[in-house]
Amino acid sequence: MIVRIASVEALEDFVLLVKFDDNTVVQYDMKDDINALPGYVDLRVIEGLWMQVRLDESRTCVYWNDYIDLPSDILYEYGIKI
């Protein structure tokens, strides 16, 4: 089953607040990803990029630009439910 995202918000300290269609709400901490994966480093070094998170049209992925994205299933599985 593909988990669809209802909304996403970039919080301070590289944490995403994500609400899904099934009303599950998670916080996903991206600090480890940013430090471990070279493709995510721009989120830390390009001023303002982090706050520009968007939801794709299919609502199965969040993204920042053409190179940085994160699928909904990862957010759903590894986010901390609140």
pLDDT digits (tens, 9 = 90+) for 11-53: 999 999 999 999 999 999 999 999 999 999 999 999 999 999 9
Q: What is the mean pLDDT of residues 51-80?
A: 97
pLDDT at 1 over 80: no
pLDDT at 55 over 80: yes
The token pair at 16 is 């995403």
Query: What is the homologous superfamily of the domain 5-81 according to CATH?
Result: NE0471-like N-terminal domain (3.30.2020.10)
Put the strands of the sheet holding 69-71 in their side by side order.
Answer: 54-55, 61-63, 69-71
Q: What is the pTM of this model?
A: 0.94
The beta strand positions in 1-82, using DSSP E, are 5-11, 15-20, 25-29, 54-55, 61-63, 69-71, 80-81
